[in-house]
C-alpha cells in the first residue's frame, strides 16, 4: 500500500481548482508518510495537465487521453481508476468533493469495497490513519471520521485546503495507460453542455455577495451584481429569493442549495435561517447587511451594518471601487 493518489478533475481540458487543493493535501500527507504523490489525469488535455500537476507537487502522473474519457463520465472513469488502484494498491485516493469527484469516489469505493469519507475540511495523519474532520448534520456539528482498510478514499470540500505554491521547474514521470471500457460498453452519452460562463462557480469563489427576500425582486439583484463585479465575487441567494423566481437555483446557498466556504460572505437582506446557515458555516468572514438588528444572521456574522441594503450596497460598491480599482 503505497502512494497518495490525487484525481485531477478536468472539464473541456481545464483543470478544476479543487484538484490543486487536493494535490496540496496529498503532498502534505505523502511527505509525512514518506511516500509519493501520484496524479491521475484522464481525458482532454491530460498530458498538459499532468505537467501542471508536477508543478503543484505531484511526483508521478498516470495519464489516459483516450477519447472515451474526454469529458467525465462515471462508468469509464470509475472502471479505469478502480482497475489501476487494484493493480497498484495506493494508500489513499483523494478527490475534490465536486459533483464528479463525489460520483467517482463513491463508485470506486464500491469497486474496491473501501471506506469513503466525503467532504473533508481537515485531514490529519495519526498513526498511519487519516483522521478526517467533516461537517455533519447540515454543518451543525463536526465529526472526526476514520476508515478502516485500504485504500482510504477522501473527497475534500472546495476551498478548505490551500492551493500549493507552484514550482515551474518541477517535473515528473508520466505513465500512460489504456482505457478499460470501449465506447460501446458505456451507457452514458453526453448530449449537451451549457457551461455556466460569465461568473465564477459559487463553490470556488473567494467572495460571495448574496441576496435574500430583502432585495425585493429580480431587479434588486442588480446592485449586488455590480458589487460582485467590483470584487470579482460570485452571486449567491437565499431560498426565498430563488423560490420567488428572482434568481436561478444555481445561486441558492444553504441546506438545499450549495455549501460554500468563501473568505467573505456578504448577506444582503437575508435573515439567516438555520437552513441558510447550513451553507455558510465554513465561510471565514460573514457580513450582514440588514434592516433588522434582531435577524438571526447577526449571530453568525463578524460584522453587520444595520440599514437599507439599497443604500449600503451602492456605498460599498463605491468604497471598494475607490480602493481596488
Ligand X SMILES: Cc1cc2nc3c(=O)[nH]c(=O)nc-3n(C[C@H](O)[C@H](O)[C@H](O)COP(=O)(O)OP(=O)(O)OC[C@H]3O[C@@H](n4cnc5c(N)ncnc54)[C@H](O)[C@@H]3O)c2cc1C
Site for another protein in 136-175 (CB under 8 A): 136-149
Q: Which residue has the cell 498538459?
A: 48
- Contact by Cβ (8 Å): 272, 288: yes
Residue 107 contact partner, candidates another protein, ligand X, none, CB within 5 to 8 A by sort of partner:
another protein
Q: Which is nearer to ligand X, 167 or 249 (CB)?
A: 249
- Cell, residue 113: 469495497
Angle in degrees, 0-180, between the axes of helices 99-112 and 74-88, rounded to the nearest 10: 50
- Contact by Cβ (8 Å): 195, 250: no
Residue 269 contact partner, candidates another protein, ligand X, none, CB within 5 to 8 A by sort of partner:
ligand X
Q: Is 230 in the site for ligand X (CB under 6 A)?
A: no
Burial 17-48 (b: 16+ CB within 10 A, else e): bbbbbbbbbbbbbbeebebbbbbbbbbbbbee
Contacts of 107 (CB under 8 A, 6+ apart): 74, 78, 82
Interface pick for ligand X out of 10, 79, 147, 252 (rule CB under 6 A): 252
How many residues form the binding site for ligand X (CB under 6 A)? 28
Q: Tell me which stretch binds ligand X (CB under 6 A): 48-56, 91-99, 163-171, 271-279.
A: 271-279
H or E segment and range at residue 246: none
Q: Is 320 in the site for another protein (CB under 8 A)?
A: yes
Interface pick for another protein out of 83, 204, 225, 226 (rule CB under 8 A): 204
Least CB distance from residue 140 to ligand X, whole Å? 14
- Contact by Cβ (8 Å): 134, 121: yes
Least CB distance from residue 16 to ligand X, whole Å? 23
CB neighbourhood size of 300 (10 A): 16
Q: Is 119 in the site for another protein (CB under 8 A)?
A: yes
Q: Is 209 in the site for ligand X (CB under 6 A)?
A: no
Least CB distance from residue 192 to another protein, whole Å? 4
- C-alpha span between 79 and 83 (Å, rounded): 6
Contacts of 322 (CB under 8 A, 6+ apart): none
CB neighbourhood size of 292 (10 A): 13
Q: Tell me which stretch binds another protein (CB under 8 A): 25-33, 39-47, 202-210, 218-226.
A: 202-210
Q: Is 256 in the site for ligand X (CB under 6 A)?
A: yes
The dihedral region occupied by 152, where left means phi > 0, alpha psi between -120 and 50, and beta the remainder, is beta
Interface pick for another protein out of 45, 225, 226, 255 (rule CB under 8 A): 255
Q: Which residue has the cell 481537515?
A: 122
Q: Tell me which stretch binds ligand X (CB under 6 A): 23-31, 36-44, 57-65, 273-281.
A: 273-281
Least CB distance from residue 139 to ligand X, whole Å? 11
Least CB distance from residue 318 to ligand X, whole Å? 17
DSSP designation for 30: H
Site for another protein in 53-112 (CB under 8 A): 74, 78, 98-100, 102-103, 105-107, 109-111
Least CB distance from residue 278 to ligand X, whole Å? 7
- Contact by Cβ (8 Å): 178, 66: yes
Q: Is 254 in the site for ligand X (CB under 6 A)?
A: yes
Q: Is 308 in the site for ligand X (CB under 6 A)?
A: yes
Least CB distance from residue 220 to another protein, whole Å? 16
Residues that bind ligand X (CB under 6 A): 212-214, 238-241, 252-257, 269-271, 273, 275-276, 279, 289-292, 295, 308-310
Amino acid at each position: 500500500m503505497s502512494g497518495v493518489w490525487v484525481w485531477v478533475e478536468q472539464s473541456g481540458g481545464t483543470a478544476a481548482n479543487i484538484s490543486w487543493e487536493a494535490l496540496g493535501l496529498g503532498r502534505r500527507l505523502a511527505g509525512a508518510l514518506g511516500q509519493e504523490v501520484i496524479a491521475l489525469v484522464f481525458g482532454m488535455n491530460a498530458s498538459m495537465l499532468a505537467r501542471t500537476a508536477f508543478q503543484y507537487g505531484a511526483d508521478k502522473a498516470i495519464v489516459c487521453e483516450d477519447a472515451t474519457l474526454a469529458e467525465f463520465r462515471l462508468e469509464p472513469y470509475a472502471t479505469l481508476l478502480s482497475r489501476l488502484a487494484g493493480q497498484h494498491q495506493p494508500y489513499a485516493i483523494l478527490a475534490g468533493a465536486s459533483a464528479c469527484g463525489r460520483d467517482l469516489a463513491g463508485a470506486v469505493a464500491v469497486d474496491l469495497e473501501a471506506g469513503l469519507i466525503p467532504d473533508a475540511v481537515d485531514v490529519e495523519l495519526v498513526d498511519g490513519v487519516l483522521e478526517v474532520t467533516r461537517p455533519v448534520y447540515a454543518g451543525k456539528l463536526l465529526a472526526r471520521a476514520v476508515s478502516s482498510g485500504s485504500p482510504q478514499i477522501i473527497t475534500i470540500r472546495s476551498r478548505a485546503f490551500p492551493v500549493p505554491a507552484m514550482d515551474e521547474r518541477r517535473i515528473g514521470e508520466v505513465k500512460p495507460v489504456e482505457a478499460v471500457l470501449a465506447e460501446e460498453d458505456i451507457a452514458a452519452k453526453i448530449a449537451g453542455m451549457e457551461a455556466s460562463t460569465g461568473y465564477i462557480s459559487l463553490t470556488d469563489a473567494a467572495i460571495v455577495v448574496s441576496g435574500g427576500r430583502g432585495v425585493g425582486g429580480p431587479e434588486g439583484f442588480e446592485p449586488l451584481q455590480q458589487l460582485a463585479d467590483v470584487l470579482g465575487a460570485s452571486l449567491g441567494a437565499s431560498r426565498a429569493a430563488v423560490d420567488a423566481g428572482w434568481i436561478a437555483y444555481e445561486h441558492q446557498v444553504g441546506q438545499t442549495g450549495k455549501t460554500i466556504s468563501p473568505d467573505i460572505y456578504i448577506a444582503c437582506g437575508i435573515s439567516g435561517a438555520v437552513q441558510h446557515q447550513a451553507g455558510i458555516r465554513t465561510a471565514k468572514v460573514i457580513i450582514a447587511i440588514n434592516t433588522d438588528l434582531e435577524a438571526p444572521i447577526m449571530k453568525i456574522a463578524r460584522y453587520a451594518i444595520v440599514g437599507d441594503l439599497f443604500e449600503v450596497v451602492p456605498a460599498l460598491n463605491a468604497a471598494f471601487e475607490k480602493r481596488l480599482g
